[in-house]
Every structure is written in structure tokens, then in C-alpha cells.
Amino acid sequence: MSERKLHPAVAGAQPMYRAENDPDAPLFEGAYKQRFDDILTRYPDKRAAILPVLAMCQELRGWISSETIERVAELLDLTPAYVLSITSFYTMFRPQPVGKYLIQVCTSIGCDLCGAENVVEKLLAATGTRTGEISEDGLYTVIEVECLGACGFATVVQVNERVYESVKTETVTRLLEELR
């Protein structure tokens, strides 16, 4: 995160898949505490701030742990179960720690027809992981996601905040090398 103070309007709307994620980083400290306070000023009640607050936690840690859920519940006067229902409903919140690069492969209908399954398989083989796992070198996590909104360029793959179009099994190795 840059040192420049964020405007409260975007305090909870920063990229939330970051290569610099730290799965155990302290929550709500320093600049993040300031951003949390800023987010609250943008909503009529605390509950309404839940999505941006969770997004900020994921931005920092790369995933939403049960510790995060309990902290957020406490800060927003909600039950942990309620926060869990939110984080589990929205699939963009990750329930496990992720590698430096979170590789999200679209397997919705368009990409699926153009061989997304093969791309996933190739990626998993190349990184030596199963879906959702972190590769041994800590670099990659591969998951399947729903439509990324670029159906004209199947197969679509999103790595952290960056979208790669027309990925083929042949280009997978190059993609991974580029990241490294």
C-alpha cells in the first residue's frame, strides 16, 4: 500500500488480490485502522460496512480466516455466524490462504466450451497442486471461478488483479514463467 492517505470513498475498494499478501498480518493496525475508521464514515450503520471491511482484510492477508471473521464481527457488532454467512456467500472471499499469485480460471459456459477444463488441468500439473492449494514454492494457487466477463476471449484467466485473455494449454507454461 502506498504511503499516501486514501480518500475515505476508496478506503475499502483497493485491489484485494495482492502478490504482497501476508496470511498472518496484524489486522486493523496503523494505516489499516485509519482506513477502517474511514470506511465506517461512509455508511449509515456499521453492518453496511461489512463488505469493504472484509475486502480490506483480504487485501492484507489474502484470505479470510476465522480470526478475521471474529474480529470483524466484534468491530461491527454482528455475530460471527452472520459474518461467516457473508464471506461464504461471496466466492471472491477466499476461505484459505493463497500463494503470491492467485490464478482464477473461468470455467463458465463460454470458456468451458473453449477448453477451460484443460487449462485448469495444465495449470494444476504445472504448479503441482490441487485446486485451492498453495504450490510448494509459495507462488501459485489455482482455482476455478465463474464468468470473468470477457467471454469473447476464452479461456479467460485472472492472476491477482490482472486478466489474461485467450489462454490455451500451450501458453500456460509461458504464463507461469512470466509471473515468476
Partner 1 sequence: MADASSTQKVTIDGHEVMVPPGTTILDAAERVGVVLPRYCYHPGLSAPALCRMCLVEVEGAPKLLPSCVQQVQDDMVVHTTSADARKARRAVIEFLLVNHPLDCPICDAAGQCELQDYAFETGQLHTRVTDPKMVLGRDNVTPEIVYFGDRCILCTRCVRFMDEVAQEPVLQVVQRGHKGYIDTMTGDLFEHAFSMNIVDVCPVGALVNEDFLFKARAWDLDQAPSICPGCSQGCNISLGTKENQIRRAKPRPNMEVNSYWMCDEGRKTVVNWGSGDRLEVPMLKGDSLLPVDWQRALSALTEALRGEPGAARGVASAGASNEALYILRRLMEVAGFDGGYFAVPMAEEHVLAGFPKLALRSERVPNARGAELFGFERSDDPYAEVASHTGALFVLDDPLDGAPEGFGASAAIFVYLGTRLSPAARRADIVIPVTTFAEMEGTFTNFQGRVQRFAPALQPPGLARPLWMSGSATLERLGTGSAYRSAAETFAALAGDYEEFDGLTYESIGPGGSLIASARTQTARAG
45 belongs to the binding site for partner 1 (CB under 8 A): no
- Taking the complex as a whole, the smallest distance from the CB of residue 144 to partner 1 amounts, in Å, to 14
Q: Which residues pair with 144 in a beta bridge?
A: 105
Enter the DSSP assignment of 136. Answer: T
- Taking the complex as a whole, the smallest distance from the CB of residue 124 to partner 1 amounts, in Å, to 21
Phi first, then psi, for residue 14 (nearest 5°) are -95, 160
Q: Is residue 39 classed as helix, strand or coil in its secondary structure?
A: helix
What b/e string do you get for 60-89 counting C-beta neighbours within 10 Å, with b at 16 or more?
A: bbbbbbeebbebbbebbebeeeebbebbee
Among 41, 85, 118, 131, binds partner 1 (CB under 8 A): 85
69 belongs to the binding site for partner 1 (CB under 8 A): yes
Of 66 and 166, nearer to partner 1 (C-beta) is 66
Among 4, 30, 89, 180, binds partner 1 (CB under 8 A): 89
Instruction: Report the interface residues with partner 1, using CB under 8 A.
Output: 66, 69-70, 78-82, 84-85, 88-89
